């Protein structure tokens, strides 16, 4: 049988989600926890490969097993063997052909900016801090230009290995709550560092450091035309969306609730 798990994690002290040879990853810690409770070497599939320092509220991973446990037993067993920075939130039975990555219809991310002259003491590892004046209305106006299908060559890192730079932005929304700015993006797929470059570019335009519009930057198809890559610690993977047939029990996410005092 195949099981799908929804997990959240603070990525501050991890090298990213994907297992690496010389650094601690979220995948490695989860697979170690699975080995503790199953006594088997299990390799998991996962929905999104988040980079070092990036967080997740609904990462999904799956694997096959012949071990029969009720869902609560799986969740309790996993969480008792995971550090406080990783938590299993739910579990679902899925068909054998389900794959966390390839079955996803789209994925969503939120980038969190803290705009204030003073440092965000209690949120330092969870936000991108900028003490310059950011014109929020500019972020709203420019963000809308990303909607639809575009060639995102200007918004991919030099290490991006994707063969197709064309991605479809299904929704993008900028919201401001006190000193926090939230940029939430849903797309069919993302290029390497795409959300961080989009966010950094919107911030740079809103500070008056870039005189081009998003439309103009997209047309240039040149990474040098876009803004800085925003810091990893402000990025949250909200999770993938699947066809309702899979019944992935992902919790309703409102990231702004995480930052309200």
Residue 204's SS3 state is helix
Q: Where in the chain is the domain with CATH 3.30.70.660?
A: 106-237
Q: Is 97 a catalytic residue?
A: no
Locate tokens 């939130």: which residue? 89
**φ/ψ (deg, to 5) at 105:** -85, -40
Residue range(s) of every CATH 3.30.70.580 domain in the chain: 2-103
Q: Bigger pLDDT: 249 or 220?
A: 220
pLDDT at 130: 97
What CATH code would you report for 2-103?
A: 3.30.70.580
Give the Cα-Cα-Cα angle 72, 87, 176 (nearest 5 degrees). Answer: 125
CATH node for 106-237: 3.30.70.660
For strand 2-9 and strand 55-64, is the pairing parallel, antiparallel, or unpaired? antiparallel
Name the β-bridge partners of 46.
61
Q: What is the overall mean pLDDT for the chain?
A: 93
Q: Of the candidates 63, 83, 85, which has an alpha carbon nearest to the alpha carbon of residue 74? A: 63
Residues 6 or more apart whose Cβ sits within 8 Å of residue 17: 11, 25, 26, 27, 46, 48, 49, 50, 56, 59
pLDDT in tens, 227-257: 999 999 999 999 999 998 887 866 556 777 7
SS3 241: strand
Mean pLDDT across the stretch 67-87?
95
* pLDDT value for 255: 78
> Which tokens in the block code for residue 194?
């795409």
pLDDT at residue 100 is higher than 70 = yes
Which two tokens mark 51? 């980079």
Is residue 10 over pLDDT 60?
yes
Contact 143, 202 (CB under 8 A): yes
> pLDDT tens digits for 140-149?
999 999 999 9
Please compute the mean of the pLDDT values over residues 100-111 and round it to a whole number: 95
Structure tokens at 20: 């690496």
Average pLDDT over residues 78-95: 96
Instruction: Convert the pLDDT of each residue in 153-210 to its tens digit.
Output: 999 998 888 889 999 999 999 999 999 999 999 999 999 999 999 999 999 999 999 9
Which of 10, 32, 41, 51 is the catalytic position?
Answer: 51
């Amino acid at each position: 049988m195949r099981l799908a798990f929804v997990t959240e994690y603070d990525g501050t002290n991890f090298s990213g989600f994907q297992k690496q040879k010389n650094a601690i990853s979220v995948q490695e810690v989860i697979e170690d926890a699975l080995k503790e409770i199953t006594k088997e070497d299990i390799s998991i599939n996962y929905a999104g490969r988040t980079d070092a320092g990036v967080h997740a509220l609904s990462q999904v991973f799956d694997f096959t097993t012949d071990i029969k446990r009720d869902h609560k037993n799986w969740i309790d067993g996993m969480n008792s063997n995971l550090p406080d920075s990783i938590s299993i939130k739910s579990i679902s039975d899925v068909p054998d052909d389900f794959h966390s990555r390839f079955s996803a219809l789209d994925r969503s991310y939120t980038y969190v900016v803290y705009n204030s002259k003073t440092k965000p003491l209690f949120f330092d590892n969870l936000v991108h801090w900028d003490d310059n004046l950011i014109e929020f209305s500019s972020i709203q106006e420019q963000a809308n230009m990303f909607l639809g299908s575009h060639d995102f060559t200007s918004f991919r890192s030099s290490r991006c290995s994707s063969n197709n730079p064309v991605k479809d932005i299904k929704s993008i929304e900028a919201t401001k709550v006190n000193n926090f700015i939230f940029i939430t993006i849903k797309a069919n797929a993302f290029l390497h560092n795409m959300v961080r470059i989009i966010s950094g570019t919107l911030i740079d335009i809103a500070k008056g450091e870039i005189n081009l519009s998003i439309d103009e930057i997209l047309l240039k198809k040149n990474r040098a035309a876009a803004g800085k890559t925003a810091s990893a610690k402000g990025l949250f993977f909200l999770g993938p969306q699947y066809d309702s047939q899979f019944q992935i029990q992902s919790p309703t996410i409102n990231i702004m609730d995480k930052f309200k005092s």
